[in-house]
């Protein structure tokens, strides 16, 4: 688990260790099994991350391996986060400590739910993802530097040297993250004067006058 | 593009701002919350350091997890108890009205808001529950939202929305005796498909709709979502106004005339333009029953389970899955299908007129041996009104259990659930695999009168002959 603060404000770069999770079409039901949905807060979701997958290989799942504790960049393959639209999936990953994902591709709703939390899902070419996953496996202690301004990920390793790979992000989400406008709630809260004006003109809030 | 419809008018009235992503910020006039989807939203609000912007525009109740046998606290299920305790703490911290157990006003969120007069024409209504479309019966624009949107409404009394298309569903004629709003909406969904309404608001209009009571209109709009529509509504009229008059949260005598005058301006006028229109004839609709695993897989009670050849090619894979799951044979009549459990209740059909219709069938008859049948009123007010009329006694002496209000076996988040491969006749709204609490449990959706008839026969039967034989069933009143 990771004590880092939750994302806030403009997201221009992130530095942290990587966690490779190999496999295509990993769905939200695997990320957070349904039984964890009957809960009163998202706080305890971290313990449910990949709960069923982890119990199938005790201690040996990437999320359980000693050297990945404290990692914050999840490196995945194709169509990550498919299946039900549950918002609990990115919440659970965030509460475990994940602050960015790099992968071949992401399911659309999962991507949007991550964006709304300030967690970038960066896509990269398949061979680059494989290289990155391999490099992390060789040197799990190496730090990744994600530069969102130039859309590049860099791995500095004493063993495998320094490597850079290009990553991709659609212009809309890219702008939202860089400007800090990824948080839908703060956008809505920002229009307080307009909100008051709308409410003042609504007959049912004003005695139908 | 639609213009001049009630949807367009309500949309324009509630616009706050255009947002950078291209969507519109819409003011929410009434926000309803319950114990399941609100706790995480309150927690997120706390994380962001934000307050509730308009606590007086949010109203809470508890419905999904409450037991319907004993509602004594603490509940036997510690998680259910924790969910209610959290709701209570959040409401008291933020100054939100909570209609709790025993208040006389508790019940399913989509039952209590209308009966308290909270839901009114021209409002935007949001709730973290799919079936919020119910409130469209009053000429409100009402939609279900997810947890992060619940947080948004708490923080800003508004939502980021994209404008919908408007489809008019025009229904001519009159529903026949023994055919109810539930049959009408199952018929509409069967015809247009469960995805037919995606991206749309459904406006229900025409002589058959005008003739519906408010409670029937609620049943209709409740299931608009099951047809894929984001919301469904009926234009407000004299029936709407008569229902609202004198309700605790409706406009009082002083404002009443002005309210009616304003409400009357909201309906789609003759000049209104719709994106498209679909027509139905109410007189041709039979009592309708679902045979499959989506609400769109419905047939008349006098029909047979469709064979693959009778279906469009793209419907066949799902039909195949449904035959296997439901263990129903293509080409077999749906009438005569044995049932194990009969459930009357839910936000679709848990109101007084629903219980009256079912009681009229049950009156003086007996539930078939081996059938578990139970009635769960939609709210404490519905329960009290039904008991005042003696409906509880009618049900009990016919062999039905009479329960306390809640969502109950609609989604089985409380102890009421199917077991194993049991099959239910249910007045609720979803027949998805596992919906009623058992992973292999099966659901046949139908009207409350049809559920009562199934309970008496122990199998699916046409309710119409029973009505002719019965004394004089009280028709839907409100
Ligand atoms: S009765 Fe069923 S559909 Fe209605 S609010 Fe409760 S769980 Fe949801």
Residue B223 Cα to ligand 1 middle (Å):
11
* pLDDT band for position A85 (cuts 50, 70, 90): low
For residue B366, CA distances in Å to B398, B400, B456 come to 4, 9, 6
Strand partners, A162: A156
Mean pLDDT of the B117-133 span = 95
Tell me how close the Cα of A40 comes to any Cα of chain B, in angstroms: 5
Cβ–Cβ below 8 Å for B155 and A185? yes
CA separation for the pair B305, B330 (Å, rounded): 5
Predicted confidence (pLDDT) at residue B470 exceeds the cutoff of 70: no
Cα–Cα distance between B435 and B441 in angstroms, integer? 8
In chain B, which residues touch A (CB < 8 A)? 13-17, 19-21, 25, 27, 29, 39-40, 43-44, 47-48, 50, 53-54, 79, 82-83, 86, 120, 122-123, 146-148, 151-152, 155-160, 251, 255, 258-259, 261-262, 413
Closest residue in A to B65 (Cα) is A38
Q: E strands, B223-325, where?
A: 231-234, 276-281, 288-290, 298-300
A44 CA: distance to closest CA in chain B (Å): 11
Mean pLDDT of chain B: 94
Q: Do B363 and B446 touch, CB atoms closer than 8 A?
A: no
Local confidence band at B477 (pLDDT 50, 70, 90 cut-offs): very low
Q: Is A40 a residue whose pLDDT tops 80? A: no
Contact A194 B29 (CB under 8 A): no
Q: How far is CA B113 from the centre of its chain?
A: 12
**B18-22, B368-372, B408-412: range with lowest mean pLDDT:** B18-22
CA distance B229 to chain A (A): 18
pLDDT for B240 equals 98
- Average pLDDT (A106-120) is 88
Which chain B positions have a beta carbon within 8 Å of A203's beta carbon? 122, 258-259, 262
Q: List the structure tokens of B351.
A: 């109101």
Q: Is the pLDDT of residue B115 over 50?
A: yes
Tell me B113's DSSP state: H
CA of A60, closest CA in chain B: separation in Å? 30
Instruction: List, chain by chain if needed, residues with CB within 6 Å of any ligand 1 atom.
Output: B 63-64, 108, 110, 129, 131, 346-347, 407, 410-411, 428-429
The lowest-confidence range among A76-80, B206-210, B394-398 is A76-80
Contact between A195 and B160 using a beta-carbon 8 Å cutoff: no
pLDDT confidence of A109, banded at 50, 70, 90? confident
Residue A108 pLDDT level (bands cut at 50, 70, 90): confident
Least confident residue range of A90-94, B79-83, B431-435: B431-435
Least confident of A153-162, B9-18, B365-374, B416-425: A153-162
Indicate if the pLDDT at residue A5 is higher than 90.
no
Give the confidence band of B476 by pLDDT, cuts at 50, 70, 90: very low
Residue B303 has pLDDT above 70, yes or no: yes
In chain A, which residues have their Cβ closer than 8 Å to the Cβ of B157?
A: 195, 199
**Is there a contact between A202 and B25 if contact means CB atoms under 8 Å apart?**
no
Task: For residue A45, give how far its alpha carbon lies from the nearest alpha carbon of chain B (Å).
Answer: 11
Angle at B469 between CA B463 and CA B474, to 5 degrees: 75
Please check whether residue B171 is in contact with residue B184, taking contact to mean a CB–CB distance below 8 angstroms.
yes
Total Cβ atoms within 10 A of residue B308: 14
Phi and psi at residue B200, in whole multiples of 5°?
A: -120, 155
Q: Residue B434 and residue B418: Cα distance in Å, rounded?
A: 9
Query: Binning pLDDT at 50, 70 and 90, where does residue B290 land?
Result: very high
Sign of CA dihedral A55, A61, A67, A69: negative
Tokens of A183: 């948080």
Contact assignment for A208 to B123 by CB distance below 8 Å: no
The closest of A103, A96, A101 to A69, measured between CA atoms, is A96
> 3-state SS string over B181-210?
HHHHHHHHHHHHCCCCCCCEEEEEECHHHH
Rounded distance, CA B178 to CA B449, Å?
8
Report ipTM for this prediction: 0.92
pLDDT of residue A153: 97
For residue A172, list chain B residues with Cβ-Cβ distance below 8 A.
Answer: 21
The three-point CA angle B50-B55-B59 to 5° equals 125
A195 neighbourhood in chain B, CB within 8 Å: 16, 25, 27, 53, 156-158
CA-CA-CA-CA torsion sign (B295, B11, B215, B399): positive
**Omega before residue A85 within 30° of 0, cis:** no
- 3-class SS of residue B117: coil
Query: Do residues B39 and B11 touch, judged by C-beta distance below 8 A?
Result: no
Q: Is the CB of A41 less than 8 angstroms away from the CB of B122?
A: no
The C-alpha of B135 sits at a distance from chain A's nearest C-alpha, in angstroms, of 16
Mean pLDDT along residues A80-88 = 80
Looking at residue B471, its pLDDT comes to: 46
Give the mean model confidence (pLDDT) for residues A145-157: 96
Best probe residue, ligand 1, of B428, B436, B448 (max atoms within 8 Å of C-beta)? B428
Residue B469 above 80 pLDDT? no
- Greater confidence (A107 vs B106) lies with B106
Instruction: Write out chain A residues lying below 8 Å of B17, CB-based.
Output: 191, 194
- Best of A4, A184, A206 to disrupt the B interface (most B CBs within 10 Å) is A184
User: Which of A83-87, B395-399, B458-462 is predicted with the least confidence, judged by mean pLDDT?
Assistant: A83-87
pLDDT band per the 50, 70, 90 thresholds, residue B22: confident
Tens digit of each residue's pLDDT (9 = 90 or more) over A152-200: 999 988 888 899 999 999 888 898 899 888 888 888 999 999 999 999 9
Q: What is the DSSP string of B403-457?
A: --SS-GGGTT-SS----TT-EEEESSS---TTTTSSTT-EEEE--HHHHHHHHHH
Percentage of residues of chain A with pLDDT beyond 90: 62
The whole-number pLDDT of residue B132 equals: 95
The answer, yes or no, to whether residue B21 has pLDDT greater than 90, is: no
Mean pLDDT of B26-55: 93
Diameter over CA atoms, chain B:
64
Q: Among A40, A116, A203, whose Cβ lies nearest the Cβ of B86?
A: A40
Q: Using CA of residue B62, residue B65, residue B70, residue B74, what is the dihedral sign? A: negative
Q: Which atom of ligand 1 is nearest to the CA of B348?
A: 4
Distance from C-alpha of A63 to C-alpha of A71, rounded to nearest angstrom:
9
Contact B160 A188 (CB under 8 A): yes
Q: Is B475 helix (H, G, I), strand (E, B) or coil?
A: coil
Does residue B475 have a pLDDT over 60?
no
Cβ contact A96:A62 at 8 Å? no
| pLDDT (average), residues A123-139 | 96
What is the per-residue pLDDT across B54-96, written as a single tens digit (0 to 9) for each? 999 999 999 999 999 989 999 999 989 999 999 999 999 999 9
| Nearest Cα residue to atom 4 of ligand 1 | B347
The helix-helix angle for B448-457 and B352-362 (nearest 10°) equals: 30
Residue A3 binned pLDDT confidence (cut-offs 50, 70, 90): low
CB contact under 8 A, A208 and B259: yes
Residues near B242 by Cβ (< 8 Å), separated by ≥ 6?
none
CA of B375 to the centre of ligand 1 (A): 15
* Residue B77 to residue A191: CA distance in whole angstroms: 42
Per-residue pLDDT at B155 exceeds 70: yes
pLDDT surpasses 60 at B184: yes
d(CA B142, CA B164): 12
Task: Tell me which chain A residue has its CA closest to the CA of residue B157.
Answer: A195
Joined tokens for residue A205: 């809030």
Instruction: Name which of A5, A204, A209 to mutate to probe chain B: the one with the most chain B Cβ atoms within 10 A of its Cβ.
Output: A204
User: pLDDT grade, residue B473 (50/70/90)?
Assistant: very low
Tell me whether residue A184 is exposed, middle or buried, using C-beta atoms within 10 angstroms of its C-beta: 0 to 12, 13 to 18, 19 or more: buried
Cα B90 from Cα B291, distance rounded (Å)? 42
Instruction: Give, rounded to a whole angstrom, the gap between the first and last alpha carbons of chain A.
Output: 56
Give A-chain residues touching B88 at CB under 8 angstroms: none
Mutate which of B345, B429, B437 for ligand 1? The one with the most ligand atoms within 8 Å of its CB, which is B429
Mean pLDDT for B275-302 is 97
Q: Which residues contact B109 (CB under 8 A, 6 or more apart)?
A: B32, B33, B34, B61, B63, B127, B129, B347
């Amino acid at each position: 688990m990771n004590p880092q603060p939750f994302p806030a404000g403009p997201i221009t770069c992130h530095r942290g260790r990587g966690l490779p999770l190999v496999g295509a079409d990993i769905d939200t039901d695997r990320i957070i099994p349904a039984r964890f949905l009957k809960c009163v807060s998202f706080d305890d979701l971290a313990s449910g991350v990949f709960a069923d997958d982890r119990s199938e290989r005790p201690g040996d799942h990437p999320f359980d391996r000693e050297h990945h504790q404290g990692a914050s960049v999840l490196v995945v393959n194709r169509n990550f986060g498919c299946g039900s639209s549950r918002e609990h999936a990115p919440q659970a990953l965030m509460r475990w400590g994940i602050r960015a994902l790099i992968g071949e591709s992401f399911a659309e709703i999962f991507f949007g739910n991550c964006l709304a939390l300030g967690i970038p899902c960066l896509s990269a070419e398949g061979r680059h993802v494989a290289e990155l996953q391999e490099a992390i496996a060789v040197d799990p202690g190496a730090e990744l530097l994600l530069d969102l301004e130039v859309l590049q990920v860099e791995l500095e390793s004493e063993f495998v040297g320094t490597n850079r790979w290009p990553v991709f992000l659609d212009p809309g989400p890219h702008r939202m993250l860089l400007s800090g406008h990824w948080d839908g709630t703060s956008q809505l809260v920002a229009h307080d004067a307009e909100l008051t004006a709308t409410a003042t003109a609504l007959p049912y809030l004003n005695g139908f006058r | 593009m639609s213009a001049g419809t009630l949807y367009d008018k309500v949309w324009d009235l509630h616009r706050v701002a255009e947002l950078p992503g291209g969507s519109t910020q819409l003011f929410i006039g009434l926000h309803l919350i319950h114990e399941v989807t609100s706790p995480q939203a309150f927690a997120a609000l706390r994380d962001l350091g934000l307050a509730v912007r308009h606590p007086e525009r949010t109203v809470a109740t508890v419905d999904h997890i409450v037991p319907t046998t004993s509602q004594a606290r603490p509940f036997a299920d510690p998680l259910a108890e924790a969910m209610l305790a959290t709701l209570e703490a959040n409401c008291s911290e933020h100054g939100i009205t909570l209609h709790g157990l025993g208040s006389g006003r508790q019940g399913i969120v989509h039952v209590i808001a209308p009966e308290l007069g909270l839901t009114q024409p021209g409002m935007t209504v949001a709730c973290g529950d799919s079936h919020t479309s119910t409130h469209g019966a009053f000429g409100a624009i009402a939609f279900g939202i997810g947890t992060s949107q619940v947080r948004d409404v708490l923080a800003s009394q508004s939502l980021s929305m994209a404008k919908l298309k408007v489809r008019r569903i025009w229904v001519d004629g009159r529903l026949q005796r023994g055919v109810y709003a539930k049959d009408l909406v199952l018929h509409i969904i069967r015809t247009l498909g469960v995805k037919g309404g995606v991206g749309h608001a459904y406006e229900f209009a025409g002589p058959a709709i005008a003739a519906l009571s408010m409670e029937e209109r609620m049943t209709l709009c409740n299931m608009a979502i099951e047809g894929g529509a984001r919301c469904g509504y009926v234009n407000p009229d004299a029936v709407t106004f008569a229902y609202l008059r004198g309700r605790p949260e409706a406009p009082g005598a002083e404002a009443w005339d002005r309210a009616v005058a304003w409400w009357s301006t909201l309906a789609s006028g003759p000049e209104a333009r719709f994106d498209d229109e679909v027509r139905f004839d109410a007189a041709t609709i039979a009592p309708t029953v679902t045979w499959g695993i989506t609400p769109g897989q419905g047939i008349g009670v006098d029909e047979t389970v469709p064979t693959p050849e009778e279906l469009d090619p793209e419907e066949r894979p799902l039909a195949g899955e449904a035959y296997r799951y439901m263990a129903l044979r293509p080409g077999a009549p749906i009438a005569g299908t044995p049932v194990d459990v009969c459930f009357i209740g839910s936000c679709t059909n848990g109101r007084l007129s629903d219980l009256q219709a079912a009681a009229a069938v049950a009156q003086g008859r007996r539930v078939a041996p081996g059938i578990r049948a139970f009635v769960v009123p939609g709210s404490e007010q519905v329960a009290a009104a039904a008991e005042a009329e003696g409906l509880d006694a009618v049900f009990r002496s016919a062999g039905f259990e009479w329960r306390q209000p809640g969502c109950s076996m609609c989604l089985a988040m409380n102890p009421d659930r199917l077991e194993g491969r049991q099959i239910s006749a249910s007045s609720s709204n979803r027949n998805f695999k596992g919906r009623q609490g058992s992973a292999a449990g099966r659901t046949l959706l139908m009207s409350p009168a049809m559920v009562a008839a199934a309970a008496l026969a122990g199998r699916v039967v046409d309710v119409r002959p029973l009505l002719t034989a019965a004394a004089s069933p009280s028709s839907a009143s409100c």
